[in-house]
Amino acid sequence: MSRLRALLMTAAIPAVMSAATQADGPSRGEVLASTCHACHGPEGRGSPPLPPLRGRSDLRTQLLAWKSSAEASGDAHLMIRFARGLSEADIDALAAYFAAKDAP
First to last CA, the chain: 27
38 binds ligand HEC (CB under 6 A): yes
59 binds ligand HEC (CB under 6 A): yes
Residues in contact with ligand HEC, counted by CB under 6 A, come to a total of: 18
- State which residue, 23 or 49, has the beta carbon closest to ligand HEC: 49
Instruction: Please state the closest distance from residue 1 (CB atom) to ligand HEC, in A.
Output: 9
Alpha-carbon distance of 66 to 83, in angstroms, equals 6
Say whether 50 sits in a helix, a strand or coil. Answer: strand
Omega within 30 of 0 (cis) for the link into 104: no
**61-80: which residues touch ligand HEC (CB under 6 A)?**
62, 77-79
Alpha-carbon distance of 51 to 56, in angstroms, equals 10
- Spell out where the chain has E strands: none
40 binds ligand HEC (CB under 6 A): yes
Binding stretches for ligand HEC (CB under 6 A): 5, 8, 32, 35-36, 38-40, 50-51, 53, 59, 62, 77-79, 82, 94
